[in-house]
Structure 1
Amino acid sequence: MAPPVTQFELAQPPNDAISALAFSPDSPSRLLAASWDKNVYLYDTLQNSEDGAHGTLIQSFEHRAPVLDVCFGADGGEAFTAGMDWTVRRIDLATGEQTTVSKHSAPVRRVVYSREHSLLISASWDNTLHVHNPSDPSLAPLAVPLPAKPQSMAASPSKVIVAMASRLVYIYDLSALSAALSSPTPTPPQPWQQRESSLKFLMRAVAAMPSDAGYATSSIEGRVAVEWFDASAESQARKYAFKCHRQPATDGPAADVVFPVNALAFHPVHGSTFASGGGDATVALWDAEAKRRMKVYQKFADSVAALAFSADGRYLAVGVCPGFETGMEDYSGEGRTKIFVRELGENEALPKGKGK
Structure 2
Amino acid sequence: MNLDRGDWLLYPLLFWSSCFTSEVVRPLIKQTVLDPALTLIDTKKGLDLAVLHETAFSRIQKLFYFGLVRWVSGYLDRGVLDNWTSGNFKWNQEIVLLTGGAGGIVGGVVKLLSGKGIKVVVIDVIPMTFETASNIHYYKCDITCPAAIASVAAQIRKDVGEPTILINNAGVCRGKMILEASEKDIRFTFEVNILAHYWMAREFVPDMAKENHGMIVTVSSFAAFLSVPDMVDYDASKAAAHAFHEGLAVELKCRYNAPKVRTVVVNQGYTKTALFEGYKNDSNGQLIIPGFSSTLTLLRGMPHWYQNTICALGKDLMSTSKGRQVIDVEKWKPSNERKDGELSE
Q: Does TM-score exceed 0.5, indicating one fold?
A: no
Which has the larger share of helix? 2
Which has the larger share of strand? 1
TM-score by length of 1: 0.28
> Which has the greater radius of gyration?
2
TM-score by length of 2: 0.28
